[in-house]
Structure 1
């Protein structure tokens, strides 16, 4: 194809060229489509087209059904889905596609309905609030992920983010008449980070945000139409007197102005990239740039302008076109009279194909600029929609590479790869006419997501494999759709079909697909699928959701993950009767032990039921004892009946359980005595009106009784607990010494000969630092050693030495001398005795 024939398709706007290739000839699936009688929403990035018949237009009943439908087509006019449009809430105010390809339809009462690409309603409608419902929506403006609604009362409501649809009310603009035009600056382009609404009011513009209203551009209006540029920096406006103004969104100056032939406001106004503005009146499309005469295009049918990041798609009843600025690389090659290196390289290929020597002449001319020429050919190929022209440009680049070894081959390969993907999705059956710039901005993973949402799984899988992307998302979506679309296929057959494809992707989540099968009412298939899941963390929760508790518990215990085991335990605990739960966990040691560990801390009653059901009476008894210890921390626990107090009752219950097992006789006796002691101590506190007995030992109880002078109570404790006479003497002696009742102590010592001797009396007196009292009992000690040591403790060296000499114990002599060595007289006493007893060399 010659450069002249290519450039002949272009239109020049000052020093820039624009082209408008036809992307598709539209058939609309054989249906009759008239854009003039439909509300139309077109998704950016070559997305689908949604249409609903405009109820404000006259309907010819013989031509079509009176019942309105939501129709969804690809950009090539291929029907994708349809559904009856019977939404309540009044007339349709507006509709638009969000970034994630959900169609949002706003009706008069402020209800926002959402549809997917298959015309299925997604979730319940979102309401813009009671106030919006009462006033009624008059107009709305959508942007990528939100909507602004203006009510009949000139109040503004907004949903800033469709993914988190929380409506809010903006500041009151304070106007009585409905604005002449409305535009929105998206949150990402405003200083505040919140949406800003521009209202054309009178001869100025109101900038409305959530927290205030600002008046801008006084004297610039009245404005009839407004359009914000793709980057949010510029505003194209059409005034009441037929002028097109381009100004910054802060209204600081007028960038350029153009006076149109008609003051009639255009039906549509849109930006074509950032280089020009399009205005559409009936049958005429005017393209205005900052310099030079505008370009006119004429149509004999209605059109819809669809702004893209690098141009505008033009939808008509019969075709889809793309108006864009011709890329610089393309101009350098196909521009009329161009002598650029890229044009010469392209021409050299043509001469080479004709076997002309001029090919070598061209290459010699551009030898130093060959890398630049190759890059331009590759870049121009990327911007072409015509496949034959792509091929020719890439051949020219490849031809140049043969003479330029330093040019990176990866650049050429990458462009070939991108073009294969773009050509595949541009196919009429797929109908996604992405330009290369749109493709780079959209990214390959998002494109694949759009393909699978349109059920183009095979193409999505091939592109994923070709670009070396993980095909898991494609295969998972296909599997879920296969399950939904195959209700009549038996579970076993469908499982084989699914596994045949799922095994292509290692590490795929069978659990997610099984969850979809369960949600689709195919629980058996879900159970069969989840058995192939390798990750217990995904497998176990799903098994629980489909009622396979036993299998879930087995998988959880096999994994060794205690968190998973607890997840299953708590689920079964809540869903099964107690006895069934006990039977389930008792057969599995890990689950049983984890349950017991948890219940010991938080669920004593339930744990007691478990132990009783499994015959572990001693464990129940230990739990009862633990509960009684908890009561010990509560000072109120000692109050009440001595027989029926909570602590005593728990210990008595524990004693009964211990007594039923032969292995726990000791624990049974200990519990019995503990309960008996608590009862007795409680009686003592009641009688003495002093809370000093509870939880003390038997010895302390006896000692306290004697200290208080209640010898009868002390004797009762001794008798009840069979305290030995020897221990009794020790306890009473020390108790009497504590209260310094020396007369009582002496009287006690004379009641009868103490069973263990008089040592308790000596020790009690010495402990009380009463040497005189101690001397009453030391001589009564039976053993010389004991007398000697007692004398030594109260500092009576001579008596200690005399007693030691009676024992004739050399070791005792040495120890006593060392103890009393600080006294010289004492040392001489021991030396004299040593000589007398001949203990030479002993110490």
Structure 2
């Protein structure tokens, strides 16, 4: 069966068969070889392409600027650059042995590029080629031969020294030769290049100082190609004969009439239909030898048919190869080509694997480019089910040898089948080879490998997978066992803590207690107390304050267990004590204005409500300093405008904060008369001057300011009284007096 597809691809030339296999489907887009000049490097090297400026072509959404593009042999773009060379039309380009791209323009300029389309150097063929444009050139490994409009021939023997240009002997041409070929210097005894020119009915051999006529009567020759070592020349004559001769044209080795069928010429107009009929007939034929005959005929006719779809023969050959394989007596599926098309290859593969013909199904899948994973997976599952006597270790090796055929195959799916088949140990071993954690971990959980699943989830760093394992274990394990498992895995532990802080406080407290993290439990309790405070019912003496206080007291006791959290312990203790006092105040006053306020605000509120005893109790309980106490009471009394109580308070003893707060409290309240009770008691003349100025008493402010003997200060105090001429003059007089005293 293999011979059918192969035979369809080979063509007979003289007594030898040749074929042109397709190595790649080219990756480039919109590259029409007929619109471009092309240079392909030898030995699987890159391909250079540039739009052919000798042809009028239609531009398809592309710039009018020509670009030199360099591709890999599979058509992947390596590099490109805009063709800016000013040397006129591009005559030819080729790659050297060291993959340097040589481009020759009609003015004789030689441009060298690397595979990144970067210009390396420029040189010239000389003034003769500049004066008479280059019209043709033939490259070899590291050199080139060019002919110009004056029929002069020049050679560059080595592009490593491009300035060395050799002019060959004058061969007396009056018109351009039909074709040119080169015998490389390295294959000649003289070490010089030899150029073969197809002229008239013979060939001219041209060297630096000699011209010879060879092969008189063999021509005219339309094309010549020299063999690799210069021993032979293959040529096509004007009448369509292929001649292979020795390089001195003395001996004809092969003569073959390429234009080998009059019958073919007679049916040339209907040739496409004839080829199509042969292909169709081969498809419907069951006899393999008849298939081969028909396809060979179609292949032969295709060579002379430019409009036939060349992939039709290959497609039919592929289908026949598959059909002949399944028609074999051992398989017994005698499909016709029409049935095969209706059934589709995918369903045929499914029928084969259901019949346990896995090897044939695999080979057909590979041949047709179908996904082989379906076949391998079915084979693996069948093998597991049918191989109970085989040990898990041996069966694992058998499975792995085949599973590795398909990259990306799901080992987890095979392992799941092994688990369902009662081979849990085999499933656990298989899942180790699953490269995708997202498939591996759920399977480990399903077969009871929770610890292994957690290890792999944390190693993967995928938080979603870690949470998947955590929730699974959370439901299945006892709390202490669960806590012990995650404690050993920092990522799992941290993710659990993050989740539980939002949704599972009680469970998180149990975890912290189990691991001895008492301070973390305390912080949770303290947070819960604040959450409880957000309850709208926790006001007006609500009994909800009781649980809040107990939570804080529990937190205080836990903080006290560790020396590092003395501050937090003390803060929690005072917080609970303050809440108790505030709760009692709300109960007695029946006003929900105390809870969660600060100590200062609590004292201030008590004074404003006239409850001086409660204010003093808070001061005593929390050891409020005298200075802070005085500040709070002064401004609280001013708030309720109890000026009598304020004056009485100022006389209890000399205030530790001085009299300035008394002055400010009265002034802020707009009570000028009350402020005057305290301004004279200010010890600092500056403060006194500022106080008088604030209540509009210019003379007193000036007198106080003069005591500082600061003329600048007097000038500053004058500004508020600028509208009052008499008041302003007081400051001017005093400032002048101070200035005079200073000068004297």
Contact 2:540 2:586 in 1 (8 A): no
Contact 2:711 2:738 in 1 (8 A): no
**CA distance in 2 between partners of 1:808 and 1:585 (Å):** 77
Contact 2:538 2:545 in 1 (8 A): no
Correspondence list, 1:466-615, <5 A: 466-615=367-516
Select 1:393's aligned residue among 280, 290, 294.
294
Partner of 1:738: 639
**CA distance in 1 between partners of 2:426 and 2:704 (Å):** 98
**CA distance in 1 between partners of 2:741 and 2:406 (Å):** 99
Following TM superposition, by how much is the alpha carbon of 1:480 offset from its aligned partner in structure 2, in angstroms?
0.9
Partner of 1:773: 674
Q: TM-score, length-normalised on structure 1?
A: 0.55
Correspondence list, 1:34-45, <5 A: none
Partner of 1:456: 357
Contact 1:624 1:650 in 2 (8 A): yes
SS of 2:707's equivalent? Answer: helix
Partner of 2:567: 666
Following TM superposition, by how much is the alpha carbon of 1:801 offset from its aligned partner in structure 2, in angstroms?
2.2
**CA distance in 2 between partners of 1:841 and 1:377 (Å):** 129
Corresponding position: 1:795 with 2:686: no
Contact 2:660 2:682 in 1 (8 A): yes
Q: Deviations over 1:730-773 (max 9, x none)?
A: 11111111111111211222222212212221121122121221
Select 1:835's aligned residue among 719, 733, 736.
736
Contact 1:638 1:645 in 2 (8 A): no
Corresponding position: 1:444 with 2:345: yes
Correspondence list, 1:260-409, <5 A: 360=261, 362-404=263-305, 407-409=308-310
Contact 2:715 2:732 in 1 (8 A): no
In the alignment of these two chains, the number of paired residues is 484
Corresponding position: 1:651 with 2:520: no
Which structure 1 residue ranges, 5 or more long, are not aligned?
1-358
Partner of 1:14: none
Following TM superposition, by how much is the alpha carbon of 1:648 offset from its aligned partner in structure 2, in angstroms?
0.8
Q: Deviations over 1:261-285 (max 9, x none)?
A: xxxxxxxxxxxxxxxxxxxxxxxxx
Following TM superposition, by how much is the alpha carbon of 1:407 offset from its aligned partner in structure 2, in angstroms?
3.6
Cα distance change on mapping 1:549 and 1:826 into 2, 3 Å: farther
Contact 1:618 1:657 in 2 (8 A): yes
Contact 2:505 2:524 in 1 (8 A): yes
Select 2:522's aligned residue among 603, 621, 643.
621
**CA distance in 2 between partners of 1:440 and 1:814 (Å):** 108
Select 1:695's aligned residue among 591, 596, 605.
596
Following TM superposition, by how much is the alpha carbon of 1:687 offset from its aligned partner in structure 2, in angstroms?
0.6
Contact 2:541 2:586 in 1 (8 A): no
Cα distance change on mapping 1:402 and 1:719 into 2, 3 Å: closer
Cα distance change on mapping 1:825 and 1:614 into 2, 3 Å: farther
SS of 1:645's equivalent? Answer: helix
Following TM superposition, by how much is the alpha carbon of 1:405 offset from its aligned partner in structure 2, in angstroms?
5.6
**CA distance in 2 between partners of 1:431 and 1:827 (Å):** 124
Cα distance change on mapping 1:419 and 1:825 into 2, 3 Å: farther
Contact 1:511 1:533 in 2 (8 A): yes
Cα distance change on mapping 1:821 and 1:617 into 2, 3 Å: farther
Following TM superposition, by how much is the alpha carbon of 1:360 offset from its aligned partner in structure 2, in angstroms?
4.8
**CA distance in 1 between partners of 2:742 and 2:526 (Å):** 61
Contact 1:784 1:804 in 2 (8 A): yes
**CA distance in 1 between partners of 2:599 and 2:379 (Å):** 79
Select 1:806's aligned residue among 682, 689, 707.
707
Following TM superposition, by how much is the alpha carbon of 1:807 offset from its aligned partner in structure 2, in angstroms?
2.7
Contact 1:702 1:718 in 2 (8 A): yes
Cα distance change on mapping 1:790 and 1:443 into 2, 3 Å: farther
Partner of 1:680: 581
Corresponding position: 1:786 with 2:693: no
Q: TM-score, length-normalised on structure 2?
A: 0.62
Q: Deviations over 1:798-834 (max 9, x none)?
A: 2222222223345644543445545444432222221
Contact 2:631 2:657 in 1 (8 A): no
**CA distance in 2 between partners of 1:769 and 1:661 (Å):** 54
SS of 1:595's equivalent? Answer: helix
Following TM superposition, by how much is the alpha carbon of 1:578 offset from its aligned partner in structure 2, in angstroms?
1.1
Following TM superposition, by how much is the alpha carbon of 1:392 offset from its aligned partner in structure 2, in angstroms?
3.3
Contact 2:540 2:590 in 1 (8 A): no
Following TM superposition, by how much is the alpha carbon of 1:481 offset from its aligned partner in structure 2, in angstroms?
0.9
Cα distance change on mapping 1:646 and 1:438 into 2, 3 Å: farther
**CA distance in 2 between partners of 1:466 and 1:768 (Å):** 99
SS of 2:538's equivalent? Answer: helix
**CA distance in 1 between partners of 2:699 and 2:350 (Å):** 108
When the two chains are superposed, the root-mean-square deviation of aligned CA atoms in Å is: 2.3
Correspondence list, 1:76-91, <5 A: none
Contact 1:637 1:647 in 2 (8 A): no
**CA distance in 2 between partners of 1:496 and 1:752 (Å):** 98
Q: Deviations over 1:487-543 (max 9, x none)?
A: 111100100111111122222111111111111111111111111111111111111
Partner of 2:537: 636
SS of 1:430's equivalent? Answer: coil
Contact 1:637 1:646 in 2 (8 A): no
**CA distance in 1 between partners of 2:712 and 2:519 (Å):** 53
Corresponding position: 1:764 with 2:652: no
Q: Deviations over 1:189-238 (max 9, x none)?
A: xxxxxxxxxxxxxxxxxxxxxxxxxxxxxxxxxxxxxxxxxxxxxxxxxx
Cα distance change on mapping 1:823 and 1:469 into 2, 3 Å: farther
Contact 1:788 1:804 in 2 (8 A): yes
Following TM superposition, by how much is the alpha carbon of 1:378 offset from its aligned partner in structure 2, in angstroms?
0.6
Cα distance change on mapping 1:814 and 1:547 into 2, 3 Å: farther
**CA distance in 1 between partners of 2:332 and 2:366 (Å):** 21
Following TM superposition, by how much is the alpha carbon of 1:458 offset from its aligned partner in structure 2, in angstroms?
0.7
Partner of 1:710: 611
Structure scoring higher RCO (CA < 8 A, sep ≥ 6) equals 1
**CA distance in 2 between partners of 1:796 and 1:619 (Å):** 62
**CA distance in 2 between partners of 1:686 and 1:741 (Å):** 26
Cα distance change on mapping 1:832 and 1:595 into 2, 3 Å: same
Contact 2:634 2:661 in 1 (8 A): yes
Contact 1:381 1:389 in 2 (8 A): yes
Which structure 2 residue ranges, 5 or more long, are not aligned?
1-259
Following TM superposition, by how much is the alpha carbon of 1:412 offset from its aligned partner in structure 2, in angstroms?
0.7
Corresponding position: 1:422 with 2:323: yes
SS of 1:445's equivalent? Answer: helix
